[in-house]
Structure 1
Amino acid sequence: MPRNKRVVTTVAALAGLITVGSIAATAAIPAPTPNGFTQDRSAELAKQINPAKPRNVILIIGDGMDDSMITAARNYEYGAGGRFPALDALPFTGAMTTYGLKVGSGPDYPIAYVSDSAPTASGWSTGKKTVDGRLSQGPSTASNVPGEDYETVLEKYKKQGKLVGNITTSEITDATPAAAASHINARACQGPTDMTNCAEARKVNGGKGSVAEQLVDNKVDVLMGGGASRYAQATDAGSSVLAYAQTTHKYRLVSDAPGLTSVTSLADGPVLGLFANGNLTPMYQPLVATAVGAGGPSTKCTPADRGNQPDLSAMMTKSIELLDNPNGFFLQAESAMIDKQEHASDICGAIGDLKELDETVAVALAYQEKHPDTLVVVTGDHAHSTQIVGGSADDGKQLATVQTADGDPMTVAYSTNAVGSDHTGAQIRVAASGPQAANVTGVIDQTDLFATLLGRTPSTMPGTPVTPGTPGTPGTPTPTPTPAKPAVSTVSAASIAKEVLARRGLRVAVAATGGQKVTIRLVKDGRTLVSKTLGSTGGRVALRTTKAKIGKVKVVATVTGAGGSVTDSQRVRVTR
């Protein structure tokens, strides 16, 4: 089948009925033994499937956190047979692809198999793919040409009246936190004096401003991390971003851990925590790999002096305290220094911040235990080149060895660069607990997280009672479940040339559940130009027609089943 490079959003597991047999899960119950599990876990796992929409959503990101880095940190902290208490206890686990796009003429953009943090964070934030360096903004012909702004999960929840938070151990204006609540063509445009590559975005030119300005203009209720130097920069209007945040949006500045403790409510305004001029200090002192090998069989990582900087778990505790409210909240938290220390080939720095991520997950799960309507999702943004190797001198361009909790040496290698290391294009772990957590299982794409974070249309669990009664009690009939309402979603290019539409067709990806038939149509002014029928779960199709004129048309997908009919549509512009 011809590949449409523009239709890159994976439309998988959409509002589907999830049965135990389809779930790949880690051990939340009971702990594994050398001889394996003594009991089947299906019943316990089934109890944790909850199709309801979550009230609260906590997304925890380990930047650069792939399976290899998780394993290295686990080996060091707990040994080869150990487990992270929180990260490895999440009941639903899957794999997630992280590819992006490259700039081009469009609407078919080349695939970027290795992406940076900007398009990957934009993927789950908006449900759409974009190009390297770009924040929640679509692809375009060149890196300095802005694309279409895509609304984010955080922005959608803000509109719904939920409180929202965004915390990190990097500069708050760095790519991953920036993608949650800003839109700009180049991630480097963090402050108003950093706008060389984002001229159109400057406020003086009618744009939304730098990342620092956009984050406060979006009125994120809790903003915490580093990046004080970005907020000290002068805006086009003359004042600093910090002064602008304080006077225009009533932000209250917090600059250290004691100050964070003193904040007890959002009643007096949103909170801006700036705990360092740049990134926060990693949890462990560096152990940087070298060509001849750093460390040794007895080397241990040493805690770093972090001064009065709060760690991520402390920021998580305070953020939940401030955001908790009857209407619910959305909170994104990033352990950023995993990636940054991997770039530096610093194995101890990366290990320490992955351990801190686990402690942050523990805080979220403790809250979830008392508030079961909370969804907790933990994942990375991309893979990295950290690899556990045998220990020979030729196992990598740079090597470092530490002594793990087992008392044995573990050697890691970095081989993407002669000095430092870089991202890779491998799939990464995604795990979750709480309402709709089962949607992360199997192999999904980052963009698929967008729908899960927002809450999918709830499905009906097999055997769920739908009328009053006590099924299973003698004399009480077991009610027949009402057929679930079907669900359907479409993804296509936002525009297509008239000649391409006639020759190759508009390629559309359709995902559906709960129906027997899916019909996909291209409609202009109420008139169907072309129509095709797909199977019950949808698929990919090319809608080819010579009848379309320049202007707007609509892609309409309809799924019909026992629970009724549901339609989803998307507008497409036909160009010359």
Structure 2
Amino acid sequence: MPRRKHVGLAVAAAAGVVLVGTFGAQAQIAPVEQGFTKERSAELAGQIDPAKPRNVILIIGDGMDDSMITAARNYEKGASGRFEGLDALPFTGAMTTHGLKAGEGPDYPIAYVSDSAPTASGWSTGKKTIDGRISQGPSSAANVPGEDYGTVLEQYKADGKLVGNVSTAEVTDATPAAAASHINARACQGPADMANCAPAKKANGGKGSIAEQLVDNKIDVLLGGGLNRYNQATDDGPTVKEYAETTRDYRFVGDKAGLDAVTSLKDGPVLGLFTGGNMTPEYKSLVATAPPGVGGPETRCETADRGNQPDFAQMTAKAIELLDNEKGFFLQAESAMIDKQEHASDICGAIGDVKALDEAVQVALDFQAENPDTLIIVTGDHAHSTQIVGGADQGRQTATVKTADGDPMTVAYSTSASGSNHTGAQIRVAASGPQAANVTGVIDQTDLYATMLGRTPSKLPVTTVPAKPSASLAAAKKVSSKVLAKRGISVVTAASASTSVKVTLVKGAKTLATKKAAKTGGVVTLKAKKVTGKVTVVVTATGPGGTTTAKTKVTVTR
């Protein structure tokens, strides 16, 4: 998997706008409050780009709210650590996710807690709808179709750009379905599942099931689970898979090796279905139980056997590789098993897919480093009931795991006696690239629609004199020689007005390690063997206005 070459600043701000974010780092990094010491307004202003994006990569963590992100971060990186992709996006805001309830209209009641169908439809279409509804407007009842709403993916396709849709769930599940299908009930995934969607059946003159609509919309890259839906027979006889191959010219792949073998779209679109249902989570299950709960102070999550399924980052990387072209592309990629394992009160399964999402964000940032006209947005679709609590008796179901800090963390699920449910809390949204500043503050998920299509660019103040580069950094004050040699020390850097940024670890006149960062900074890891005593971390930012350095001392213990 490609490693990330670029990470944005942890926090960004524009005139009149306060943007809140996080630093990217590993568990050994110093606490955030010990991080940057310089005033950073100039650095942050340099991140703002009002131009319309050429490419858009939307990465969704289904059910991924702040509590789930925190639990996964604690486990994977430690309380003072940071995800290298997810936590490094420069523009961060909060996003509301409410939907509507069925009724006579036009003023539909508010649904404060929504499922994935109306939430995904919200950013796909820019409009609110009711639970179970896929990119179609509200109506008097769940079985009464609403008005079809056009989606971002469909508009990109109509504009002659390439489009992709990736999920670790069935590709016919609500979130991927909302990108390019329209139906009154999310359960109508295949031709045999149409009991509640009779008007949509092709035999009745409709657009067909979700599976049929996705291939009829000729999505260039369609990857995930759900083979069983595509093995269902259409109203005309052939299976949806056969229909996709013979009528829509799809090339089918069924495992990682098959996906790796596809190197371009010149021979037609790609349909990759790697399992009959949902794809396997990254970690084996650890399902919470009634107090005293499951797990304990030494419990760690175990890697699952995923057979020949590609992982989420691999699917995202392949989709980007295939979609990359001069005209631009749109890609929606969903790490779906976060939500599904939360529903099952499975903390390890959910944590593993947040980790998988972070790896996919790093893939996207790798691409953005070489293609700065790419907008990356990372968010969830709704909140969930996973909560970090103080002890194993503080919830209806609890599970305890050992975090990267070496300490126990207990999570609770209390909305049901077993399993868990969605909640109505606002969730995190973060972005990097052109027009990324539009996600800041408190927005609604419907606002993402116009941002992804590209809003009319605003004008920024013109600077005629090249600004002198600025540079700042944060690193742990102390690290053991063993950690420095094996894991390295994470250095969080930020820079502005620079064309190159270099991070160096030195002892006296001797250079121990050096790495390049993106021109706006980011997280780099420096390793050195057989070193003790005082060392210095130096960041050097060079640009049209000159060169600036920043330094910090680190003590390397035995």
Give the TM-score normalised by the residue count of structure 2.
0.79
Aligned residues of 2:23 and 2:32 also touching (Cα < 8 A): no
Aligned residues of 1:20 and 1:45 also touching (Cα < 8 A): no
- For the aligned residue pairs, the C-alpha RMSD in angstroms reads 1.4
Aligned residues of 2:24 and 2:87 also touching (Cα < 8 A): no
CA distance in 1, matches of 2:23, 2:74: 19
Aligned pairs for 1:265-344 (under 5 A) are: 265-292=264-291, 293-344=293-344
Picking from 15, 19, 37, the partner of 2:14 is: 19
Aligned pairs for 1:31-70 (under 5 A) are: 33-70=32-69
1:180 is aligned to: 179
2:156 is aligned to: 157
Aligned residues of 1:121 and 1:176 also touching (Cα < 8 A): yes
Q: Match of 1:225, SS?
A: strand
CA distance in 1, matches of 2:64, 2:320: 23
Per-residue deviation at 1:42? 1.4
Per-residue deviation at 1:34? 4.5
Per-residue deviation at 1:471? 4.6
Q: Match of 1:59, SS?
A: strand
Task: Structure 1 unaligned segments of length 5 or more: list them.
Answer: 1-17, 474-576
Aligned residues of 1:29 and 1:41 also touching (Cα < 8 A): no
Aligned pairs for 1:196-215 (under 5 A) are: 196-215=195-214
Q: Match of 2:316, SS?
A: helix
CA distance in 2, matches of 1:344, 1:29: 30
Q: How many residues align?
A: 450
1:368 is aligned to: 368
Q: Match of 2:67, SS?
A: helix
Distance of aligned partners of 1:220 and 1:90 in 2 relative to their CA distance in 1, 3 Å threshold:
same
Aligned pairs for 1:80-479 (under 5 A) are: 80-292=79-291, 293-393=293-393, 395-461=394-460, 463-464=461-462, 470-471=464-465
CA distance in 2, matches of 1:366, 1:44: 21
Per-residue deviation at 1:216? 0.2
Aligned residues of 1:29 and 1:44 also touching (Cα < 8 A): no
What amino acid does structure 2 have at the position aligned with 1:464?
V
What amino acid does structure 1 have at the position aligned with 2:328?
G
Q: Match of 1:155, SS?
A: helix
Q: Match of 2:167, SS?
A: strand
Q: Match of 1:173, SS?
A: coil
Per-residue deviation at 1:39? 1.1
Distance of aligned partners of 1:233 and 1:370 in 2 relative to their CA distance in 1, 3 Å threshold:
same
What amino acid does structure 2 have at the position aligned with 1:313?
A
> Identical aligned pairs, as a percentage?
74
Moved more, 330-339 or 21-30: 21-30
What amino acid does structure 1 have at the position aligned with 2:341?
Q
Q: Match of 1:193, SS?
A: helix
Q: Deviations along 1:135-172, whole A, 9 cap, x unmatched?
A: 00000000000000000000000000000000000000
Aligned residues of 2:20 and 2:93 also touching (Cα < 8 A): yes
Distance of aligned partners of 1:230 and 1:20 in 2 relative to their CA distance in 1, 3 Å threshold:
same
Aligned residues of 2:283 and 2:349 also touching (Cα < 8 A): yes
Aligned residues of 1:171 and 1:225 also touching (Cα < 8 A): yes
Per-residue deviation at 1:26? 1.7
Aligned residues of 2:392 and 2:400 also touching (Cα < 8 A): no
Per-residue deviation at 1:36? 4.2
Per-residue deviation at 1:47? 0.8
Per-residue deviation at 1:43? 1.3
Q: Match of 1:180, SS?
A: helix
Per-residue deviation at 1:28? 5.5
Task: Structure 2 unaligned segments of length 5 or more: list them.
Answer: 1-12, 468-558
Q: Deviations along 1:93-124, whole A, 9 cap, x unmatched?
A: 00000000000000010000000000000000
Distance of aligned partners of 1:106 and 1:314 in 2 relative to their CA distance in 1, 3 Å threshold:
same
Distance of aligned partners of 1:472 and 1:178 in 2 relative to their CA distance in 1, 3 Å threshold:
closer
What amino acid does structure 2 have at the position aligned with 1:210?
S
Aligned residues of 2:95 and 2:445 also touching (Cα < 8 A): yes
CA distance in 1, matches of 2:182, 2:329: 22
Per-residue deviation at 1:40? 1.6
Q: Match of 1:438, SS?
A: helix
1:525 is aligned to: none
CA distance in 2, matches of 1:41, 1:355: 29
What amino acid does structure 2 have at the position aligned with 1:320?
I
Q: Match of 1:224, SS?
A: strand
CA distance in 1, matches of 2:24, 2:180: 37
Aligned pairs for 1:460-539 (under 5 A) are: 460-461=459-460, 463-464=461-462, 470-471=464-465
CA distance in 1, matches of 2:35, 2:103: 51
CA distance in 2, matches of 1:143, 1:149: 14
1:477 is aligned to: none
CA distance in 2, matches of 1:45, 1:150: 37
Per-residue deviation at 1:33? 4.2
2:538 is aligned to: none
Distance of aligned partners of 1:371 and 1:161 in 2 relative to their CA distance in 1, 3 Å threshold:
same
Per-residue deviation at 1:338? 0.1
Aligned pairs for 1:529-568 (under 5 A) are: none
CA distance in 1, matches of 2:145, 2:457: 36
Per-residue deviation at 1:20? 3.7
Aligned residues of 1:20 and 1:42 also touching (Cα < 8 A): no
Distance of aligned partners of 1:29 and 1:44 in 2 relative to their CA distance in 1, 3 Å threshold:
farther
Give the TM-score normalised by the residue count of structure 1.
0.77
Aligned residues of 1:136 and 1:183 also touching (Cα < 8 A): yes
CA distance in 2, matches of 1:170, 1:457: 35
CA distance in 2, matches of 1:147, 1:34: 50
Q: Match of 1:407, SS?
A: coil
What amino acid does structure 1 have at the position aligned with 2:259?
L
Per-residue deviation at 1:279? 0.2
CA distance in 2, matches of 1:176, 1:221: 17
Per-residue deviation at 1:126? 0.1
Per-residue deviation at 1:69? 0.2
Per-residue deviation at 1:37? 2.4
CA distance in 2, matches of 1:371, 1:472: 23
